Structure 1
Amino acid sequence: MSQEFYDYIFAKQQNQEAVPSNKEITSWALKVIHLLYPERTGEKYASVDALKAEFIKLENELCRIMHATKACSNCDTSKLAKNFFESLPELFRVLNTDIQAIFNGDPAARSEFEVIRSYPGFYAISLYRIAHRLYVDNIPLLPRILTEYAHSKTGIDIHPAAKIDEYFYIDHGTGIVIGESCVIGKHVKLYQGVTLGALSVDKSMANTKRHPTVQDNVVIYSGATILGGETVIGHNSVVGGNVWLTKSLPPNSRVYHTPNHRILKRLGMKLFGHKK
């Protein structure tokens, strides 16, 4: 490589302002989750005052992170950090509904402790709800860092701008995509490989409703793809596995994919290890 290239990269590094790493930002969010759910770490505090001090410490840390990342040029980062932590009781309440939905809906779940400690769906939902709270306050960058971290760990890709109501249940989860302008109601259950996406990724569609709306009490099975900002899945509907939808469904619908199967039998062939 040329000396000019080295000089260019070096100059770029020198001009780069010091900002917290993605690891530092995600570590802050995970500390918040661990305070809300000590089941994840088993950590205990000696007193309520000690616990309160830890929350204040994380509030100050959020303020510092926002300031360092220049989250906004003319805003009060102290006020934004305070607003976030004042919203924690409501966020905690909603997360508890997600735990209940997973525990009640999954026959394999033996306890809420198991859901909190080991379920990737709850892990992704937790980081999404923190990210969404920051997004609502118009804090840039941090929400996307948090949801992309959850994506890297679980394979579940939820845009922080998506609006997701209570009792949200992700089962298995790998490969789920929930787009920026999605709206999801209460008691919705998604299986692995579900895509709630856009019909077009044209840049001119930024800031428009590009992703579906899923109303209350809907189940969407694995591999289903639902596209388009005008697409509405009506309440109490079931969307079967591998279904492809670009149009709305009325409430109480049942839609299933019906593939054609051909079973070939020939004399002397081995099918599944057995002579036919």
Structure 2
Amino acid sequence: MITDTTTFLEHLQTQRALYRYKLPSRPDAGRFIDQLMRLMFPVTQDCRSISQHVEETYQHLNQQLVCLLQPLEKNLTESPTVVTERFFERLPAIYDNLLFDAHAIADNDPAAVGIEEVVAVYPGFYAIAVYRIAHELLHQNVPLLPRMLTEYAHGQTGIDIHPGAQIGKAFFIDHGTGVVIGETTIIGDNVKIYQGVTLGATHVAKSMAQKKRHPTIENNVVIYANATILGGYTVVGHDSVIGGNVWLTSSVEPHSLVFHQHQTDVRMKSLEVIEPINFVI
């Protein structure tokens, strides 16, 4: 037990040398994500924007990503500069996928008044966008930073998407708070999920780390609020509907309707007869 201040500081100094990874700051990671989002979707105006010129902002973001990757350089398979170049080469494809997502939300949510509202204020779209950015960095074997980015989005939106998940086109998260999508989840195209949905694992043992632990959701599936779908062997067949509050640990065939059956009793309250009270003055 460390009780002496000098010993405590010496201990911290020793610990610094033992860390396997060195990481960029979380505020810097958050600023990078938000500036990148404003570059791709300049719907909102930022009084502190670096520049109104797209090319200048683009170059600045390249430099920011190199800076974020530098603490991880020893753990990268390529230099921070090369990883950055490859990431930005993939940015047009990421942008195209995000347009599919935004249109899916705008076209299917009757409360949405247009693409501008979706990209500016919808937490589901923001969480999906950060996931797609982080997923690309993970695909380039960048450690830890992708998770840092999605956890930043988690803190902003209440939506937890692991960067390792595989998510298809036109993904729609409605409302979103409490959504959890695990690392080995596979989601097809045109999938829509509501708040409180968990796509998780039945076991959390460390020995399962390299195995498929989370479910597969095929194309055109709708999952309603607070449904829980667990297990690496669980497959929700295409064009199925999973109702609210469902607990599912086994596969369902395509075109299935799965719902939680419950009974709600409505009764009249018993009326008590209240005797009048006579006051004597």
TM-score (norm 2): 0.88
Amino acid at match of 1:162: A
1:84 and 2:50 are equivalent in the alignment: no
The CA deviation string for residues 98-120 of structure 1, in whole angstroms up to 9 with x for no partner, is 00010011100011111111111
**CA displacement 1:6-34 (0-9 Å, x = unmatched):** 33355258758975311101211221111
CA-based RMSD: 2.2
State the aligned residue count.
Answer: 267
Question: In the alignment, which of 147, 166, 177 is matched to residue 174 of structure 1?
Answer: 177
Structure 1 residue ranges without an equivalent (≥5)? 270-276
Q: What is the aligned partner in structure 1 of residue 72 from structure 2?
A: 69
Deviation at 1:74, TM superposition (A): 4.5
Structure 2 CA distance for aligned equivalents of residues 144 and 40 of structure 1: 26
Aligned to 1:35: 39
Q: 2-side partners of 1:179 and 1:73: how far apart?
A: 24
Q: Secondary structure at the match of 1:69?
A: helix
Report the alpha carbon displacement of residue 194 of structure 1 after superposing the two structures with TM: 0.3
Q: How does 1:232-243 map to 2 (within 5 A)?
A: 232-243=235-246
Shift of 1:260: 1.9
| Higher gyration radius (CA) | 2
Where in structure 1 do 4 or more consecutive aligned residues deviate above 4 Å? 12-19, 42-46
Q: What is the distance in 2 between the residues matched to 1:267 and 1:28? A: 61
Secondary structure of 1:196's aligned partner: strand
In structure 2, give the amino acid aligned to 1:207: Q
CA–CA distance in structure 2, aligned partners of residues 108 and 65 of structure 1: 38
CA distance, structure 2, for counterparts of residue 68 and residue 268 of structure 1? 71
Aligned to 1:133: 136
Task: Say whether residues 1:20 and 2:24 are aligned partners.
Answer: yes
Q: Which residue of 9, 12, 36 maps to 1:7?
A: 9
Percent sequence identity over aligned pairs = 44
The one-letter code of the counterpart of 1:35 is L
User: Could you tell me how far apart the structure 1 residues matched to 2:42 and 2:27 are?
Assistant: 21
CA distances 1:58-98 after superposition (whole Å, capped 9, x unpaired): 11221222122336255222111101001111100000000
Which residue number corresponds to residue 245 of structure 1?
248
Deviation string, structure 1 residues 215-270 (Cα, Å, up to 9, x no partner): 0000000010000001000000000000010000110000111112233335316x
Q: C-alpha offsets along residues 153-206 of structure 1, whole Å, 9 cap, x if unaligned?
A: 111000000000110000000000000000001100000000000010011101
| Contact preservation (8 Å) 2:51, 2:57 | no
Tell me if structure 2 keeps the 8 A contact 1:157–1:175.
yes
Q: 2:271 corresponds to which letter in structure 1?
A: G
The alignment status of 1:258 with 2:261, answered yes or no, reads: yes
Instruction: List alignment gaps of at least 5 residues for structure 2.
Output: 273-281
The answer (yes or no) to whether the contact 1:38–1:44 under 8 Å persists in 2 is no
SS in 1 for 2:129: helix
Aligned to 1:274: none
Matching residue's letter, 2:270 = L
Query: Within 2, Cα distance between the matches of 1:83 and 1:162?
Result: 20
| TM-score where L is the length of structure 1 | 0.90
Instruction: For residue 38 of structure 1, give the secondary structure of its aligned residue in structure 2.
Output: coil
